[in-house]
Every structure is written in C-alpha cells, then in structure tokens.
Amino acid sequence: MDLTQLNDHFAIPGILSFDEHNGLTRANVTTPAAKATIYLQGAHLAAWQPTGQQPVIFMSRKSDFEPGKPIRGGVPIAFPWFAIDRNPNRYKGQPGPSHGFARLQDWTLAFAALSGDDLHLTFTLTPTQMSRDMGFDHFRLAFQLTIGHSLTMQLAVANDAAAPLVFEEAFHTYFEVVDVHEVTVTGLEPTPFIDKTDNMREKPSANAPLTFTGFTDRVYCNTAATCVIHDVAGRRNITVAKTDSNTTVVFNPWKELPDMGPDEWHEMVCVETVNAAANAVTLAPGKTHIMQAHITVEKTKA
C-alpha cells in the first residue's frame, strides 16, 4: 500500500497516521496512554513513550534512515539468524546480512485497532526475492504490537514447508537510559554466559547484578528469566518479561559507531529477547512458534 491507501484503510483520527521519512514509510501513534513510531521497513519500532514517562526506546541520532539499510536503535527484528550469518555461502558466495533479512524488508500492515487506551497493530512478512535467494521460501511472520502504558511485542513464525524450519530470532531492543554507568540489570545473576568481547569464551554466572564498566556483549542461554533495568539516574525501572524466549543478550558498544554518536552509548543499553545459539528453534512443518516480550516502566524514588 502507498501512503494514501494506508491512511485510507488504517488511519484513526488523532491516534494513528502515516507519513514518509527519508523514503521510509512510518506509522505515527498518539494515544491517551503513549506515543510511538513504527517504520514499515523491518516493522521497526523506533519510539515508545508512555504518558508521563521519559522515552523508553533509544534511537541513535546518527542512524541511517535509508531504504535497505539497518536502523540503529529502536527494536530491530532479527530473523532467521542472529548476529553474523554462520553460512559463508548464503548469497552470491557471501554470508547473509547481519541479523538476517527481516529487518531490511518492507512489512505489510494487516490490522490496526484501538481497544481502550491500547493500540493493536499487526505487521506481516512472507517470502520475498531476497529471502528466496537466501533459501527461505516457506515461512510466514506476524509481528503484533500492543502499545499503551505497557508495550507487548509478539513474533509468530509459521513453517509452511514440508521439512523442519530451523531459525534464530530476536527483539534487539535498545533501551534509553540516563547514564549507563549508573545502570544495573537484575534477573541474570544465576546464568552463565558467552562473552563475545572475549573470543566467545563461556563464563560462569556472576551471581550478582550486571553493571557496565566497558564493552559488553553477552549471550545468556537457557534462561526465560524476567530482567529489570535499574535506570538509577533516570529514577525508574524498566522490566522486560518474556515468553517462549530462552536466550537473553545484553549489549553496549562503549564507543562511537559509524551510525551512533560519540556520547550516545552513554544513553543506551540493549536487553534483548532472543532464541539463538543453543536455543535456536526447530519448527515442525505446519507449526507456529510465538515469542513475546512485555515491557513495563515504574518510577522510583530519588
């Protein structure tokens, strides 16, 4: 659908509208409970701010907003692999794009409705020429968002093939914080992790809240635990509860990136809802797998 068709079919006056930013179509949400922005490329949530709260989702001010380029920040959807493609000959003798093809494709808005103060949106993705070229021709994705005082993200993967579908998936969520030096993350204390900053070494559980003192890129497997981001300087806690996700990834680059400014890493931390590595999903023919993250925000006292 073009912009006119989207607004004709799905716009809700004063609540939901569609426009274009640097060649990318986006949905703009303003409800009594929250504001949000979603780009159709990647079904990419770029902003969520509950009423009376500071923004919860971080977006790099240097992010590329160009068709076919990844967006830095927000909630990239990784599918059908997480991080670097381990198939060296995926496409034209090269690995596929980092975090898969789903975040580079235009998704289709299939449903939009307001229920109380919550806006419900569903975006879908089916095989494209890009996915077929990479060997994925029999799948369907549906990404459901419930936007309100809390945020629920749900990714359904259906296998339409005659053989099992093996995939990884992630909500690569960038959370906005006031100062990462004053952030702790609880919920992962008992869980060992793979340290991607130290040659993928497997390390024992810390048995203590996670704090940030340098480049952090950790893969915690075999955990369905709820995590809490204690944004001490921001005087709030951000809780990430998840369903049918058995991997959690925590990331901060601790430096400037080509699409992230020199001081922006101070203002973000990724706590990601994932199924990857040992927790990759093997989905039987005709079956559907659903992964969900539910995010809430609570103010704390000084």
Catalytic residues: 172, 272
CA 200 to chain centre: 22
Phi-psi label, residue 56: left if phi above 0, alpha if psi -120 to 50, beta otherwise: alpha
Whether the CA torsion 205, 235, 260, 167 is positive or negative: it is positive
Distances, alpha carbon 156 to alpha carbons 142, 147, 256, in Å: 5, 17, 34
Residues whose CB falls within 8 Å of the CB of residue 214, separated by 6 or more in sequence, listed in order: 197, 254
Residue where the block lists tokens 């426009």: 19
Integer angstrom CA distances of residue 30 from 7, 120, 147, 215:
15, 12, 10, 36
Output DSSP code: residue 128. Answer: -
Q: What is the DSSP letter of 161?
A: S
Which residue is listed with tokens 């925590």?
Answer: 250
Long-range CB pairs of 120-124, under 8 A, 24+ apart, other chains included: 120/144, 120/145, 120/146, 120/147, 121/27, 121/38, 121/145, 121/147, 123/38, 123/40, 123/43
